Amino acid sequence: MLRAVHITDCALVSGLGVGVDHVWSQLLAGKTAICEVERFDTKNYITKLAATVPDLVADAGQSRLYPLLDMLLEQLPDIPPQARLITATTKGAIDLLEMHCRQHPDGGEMPAQVQLGTVPSWVAHKLHLQDCGINVNAACTSSTLAIARGAALIAHGGAEVVVVCCADLVSEFVFSGFSALQALAVEASRPFDRERSGLTLGEGAAALVLMSTEAAQRYDRVKLARVLGWGAANDANHITAPARDGCGLIQTIKQALLQAQIGADDVAAISAHGTGTVYNDMMEITAFKAIFGDRELPLSSIKGALGHTLGAAGGIEAILALKSLAAGVVPPTCGLDTPEELVAQQVSNCCQSFAGDMLLSTNSGFGGVNAALVLQRGDQ
């Protein structure tokens, strides 16, 4: 029999500030972190907008990733040294690569910290963990899959405590790439809006501590929520575009429901990937309709407020989903004006209340990858 997996501690940094409660209150108030980028020149790109962490600076020649992680990890309580570690980042200290290429246009040896494997090593050292950790890099599902991996370790008896730590930066390298793909909205993103035209990038970091029931009791931790189910699938449709029939996400959600041993009717609300791109949002709507039929579940996306934080997105969304479950409310979908007709009664630019103990959180990414979590209300 699989063991229960609980989320006992969380930490969060986003464009709306530092700390879970602070970011949650800002979201409920309808605030957005999206504004003009100041850390690099945007004149050659299709937009000037992103959601960056205020006052995130690094020493000369260093990456902003590590001050970001410092802001995150200082929020956590002491972690048992035998805890397992899983990090999630798609680009890590990518700003070091930018600096290196500008300083050495003819090549030269890359800084070691550009390699993603250095991220879990750094976090493990910072938290005084015995495990050197692994990094999950699976596009925008990275941290959702990291949580699923950590939950599976505990459920199958491979660990008592797992720390999941995810982070990604807004860098000119990434900004230019999404601009070249014509994936960025000129104005702020508008998830699930009929006039949506693209995503807005964001940066942030999240950490979640997962524990077995026995470990939570041993370390006297409050069980904030339970990771009840998880799923993953790849639609293998296109390097950047999702399958329009939602086949990969449908399979993913079915896996998560099966793992959780619940039916679709038990889900009370949805935290969607909701990037604000034309095809992603419609693919998600198609998948949700296939799973939930005509049920008008409250549906929200936080990317209109925090931007798309890439590998950190799922972790940030999972933490905020815990707040949703505790409060019985999903936050506003920022930027929403005229909802897509098929979900016009499900999405709102105001808070929506719901009754129930289970929430579905989904993410999708380049290469056709999809991931989902079923989260259950905890002790609070």
Buried b (16+ CB within 10 A) or exposed e, 102-121: eeeeeeeeebebbebebbbb
CB 250 within 8 A of CB 369: no
Helices (H), the chain: 20-28, 65-73, 94-103, 118-127, 142-155, 172-180, 213-218, 247-260, 278-292, 303-306, 313-327
| CA–CA gap between residue 307 and residue 72 (Å, rounded) | 18
Instruction: Report the distance separating Cα 136 and Cα 177, nearest Å.
Output: 21
Which SS3 state, helix, strand or coil, does residue 162 take? strand
Active site residue 140: yes
- Residues 313 and 167: their CA atoms lie apart, in Å, by 9
CA gap 135, 262 in Å, rounded: 30
Which has the closest alpha carbon to 14: 269, 300, 334, 317? 317
**By the 8 A CB rule, do 257 and 233 touch?**
no
On whether the CB atoms of residues 13 and 53 are closer than 8 A, the answer is yes
Verify whether residue 104 is a known catalytic residue: no
Cβ-contact 127, 151 below 8 angstroms: no
Q: Cα–Cα distance between 23 and 321 in angstroms, integer?
A: 12
273 carries an active-site annotation: yes
Interatomic CA distance for residues 184 and 177, integer angstroms: 10
Task: Name the catalytic one among 6, 165, 247, 273.
Answer: 273
Q: Please identify which of the residues 10, 140, 247, 334 carries the catalytic annotation.
A: 140
| Marked catalytic residue, from 10, 165, 166, 308 | 308
Whether 88 and 136 have beta carbons less than 8 Å apart is answered as: yes
**Number of CB atoms found within 10 A of residue 164's CB:** 29
Residue numbers annotated as active site: 140, 273, 308
